[in-house]
Structure 1
């Protein structure tokens, strides 16, 4: 097992296994984009509807995931993303999606705007603020800055929580700026 990095300023998040998605809350709608830049809104309409609770001008980076029987189902998320629109809607009715977001890309306040140049700790605070009045299925990924907790969690994921579909721990520097796959609209 790889150990999480240590030293001051590290933050740790679980790695969810799903479909990487950018959520863009426009004035009257929500659009979802895949890593390729392809519009995937029709396949994740349940998430688009939930995204209407966000403030217009919000753009989030995250993972569309599907929980089944207490575990993340990567195959179910990939199946939905690759299915026909009609089948995707039928799958959504049986297995609603959740949106595990880890980064705000754009803040609706014009004084803040593009958050990518900001340090992780600031972006994390903005993410929690943006999501404060929005309930599930849009949820920020858990995060902490305690390496011992992250290492303990990582160790348990390989033993027990991997069965829930979690892949591991992502370590981020608290002062590091954000990143985004280049084809997503901002």
Structure 2
């Protein structure tokens, strides 16, 4: 019975040997419960996602065993690659909007683990055996439900790591074959792509604990010479947060007037540009205010990949200041784009 907290993975730098390997999907982690006609979809945080994906409810009811609990990922594909932005749009309070998006951008479910089947709980069963049961249960399954590809061959996993990124996937997950399922524990391993970029530091937010830097606001110039907000970098030690306040003080502006992102408080301004402080279903009532800095300083950050080529998908990691770079040289042109790869080659059949 729900709720179930998914088993998690910790980051490592290289693909470890002797494990089961799968692609790392860039979507919503989801644990699906089916009991006859009843379907419940639980999020990573155990909240219900069921009402947001009505098209999946019908598909799961038709394609899963009559009684089961399946761990997987909800994804949306556009033009042969995953589209996380389209996925976030699905979390909407209005049922009419949910129904419209279900038709316009239907989702798929990629299954990669089996936690229960009929009357048997499988949490203590080794991963290798769970995988065989899952493959048998989903033999011949059709879109929009998919069985995640898996391999025991590390060379194949290395190839997936380099090729699948072009289809919008995050990297590779490595799982010990004798691993039982342990809720909310980081017992698997994730290997993600990491690249670096030089970005303009154009502002910062204070940390929730007090008057120290919480995150730096990053920008890149587009082809038209407009500074676009592309994300933040954070994860500083408390000592470093204090030091950053002093380092950035000479760049602080009394107000955002004259700043490239001065219009950030105007809702309409976010339609034509990428600005910090955009309110969304994810930010809720979170304080989005920030301190404007003259966009004169450049830092190097590490990132895994870009979302739709416009912003960092996850929080970037600060590497070093780059006094040798001018802000104007920090453009999208420096970003490496992975070679395209059709998602149908990953799943074996077209996603929804």
Structures share fold, TM-score greater than 0.5: yes
Aligned-pair CA distance for 1:33: 1.3
- Equivalent residue, structure 2, for 1:130: 137
Deviates more, 1:61-70 or 1:82-91: 82-91
Query: What is the 5 A alignment of 1:1-186?
Result: 2-6=13-17, 8=18, 10-53=19-62, 54-82=64-92, 84-108=94-118, 110=119, 113-154=120-161, 156-157=162-163, 161-181=164-184
Q: Is the 8 A contact 2:141 2:147 kept in 1?
A: no
- Number of aligned residue pairs: give it: 173
Aligned-pair CA distance for 1:12: 0.4
Q: Secondary structure at the match of 1:89?
A: helix
How far apart, in 2, do the equivalents of 1:88 and 1:136 lie?
20
The structure with the greater share of residues assigned to strand is 2
> 1:85-113 deviations in whole A, cap 9, x for unaligned?
321221110111110111111111x2xx1
Q: Is the 8 A contact 2:35 2:66 kept in 1?
A: yes
Bigger radius of gyration among the two:
2
How far apart, in 2, do the equivalents of 1:35 and 1:84 lie?
22
Aligned-pair CA distance for 1:171: 0.2
Q: Is the 8 A contact 1:105 1:114 kept in 2?
A: yes
How far apart, in 1, do the equivalents of 2:129 and 2:43 lie?
25
The structure with the greater share of residues assigned to helix is 1
Long gaps (5+) in structure 1: none
- The normalised TM-score by structure 2 is 0.47
Long gaps (5+) in structure 2: 1-11, 186-352
Aligned-pair CA distance for 1:133: 4.8
Aligned-pair CA distance for 1:181: 4.3
Q: Is the 8 A contact 1:63 1:100 kept in 2?
A: yes
Q: Which has the higher contact order (CA 8 A, sep 6+)?
A: 1
How far apart, in 2, do the equivalents of 1:74 and 1:62 lie?
16
How far apart, in 1, do the equivalents of 2:51 and 2:57 lie?
9
Q: Is the 8 A contact 1:11 1:174 kept in 2?
A: yes
How far apart, in 1, do the equivalents of 2:84 and 2:129 lie?
30
Q: Check 1:73–1:51 CA distance in 2 against 1; reply closer, same or farther (3 A cut).
A: same
Aligned-pair CA distance for 1:27: 1.9
Q: Check 1:181–1:57 CA distance in 2 against 1; reply closer, same or farther (3 A cut).
A: farther
How far apart, in 2, do the equivalents of 1:16 and 1:60 lie?
15
Aligned-pair CA distance for 1:82: 4.4
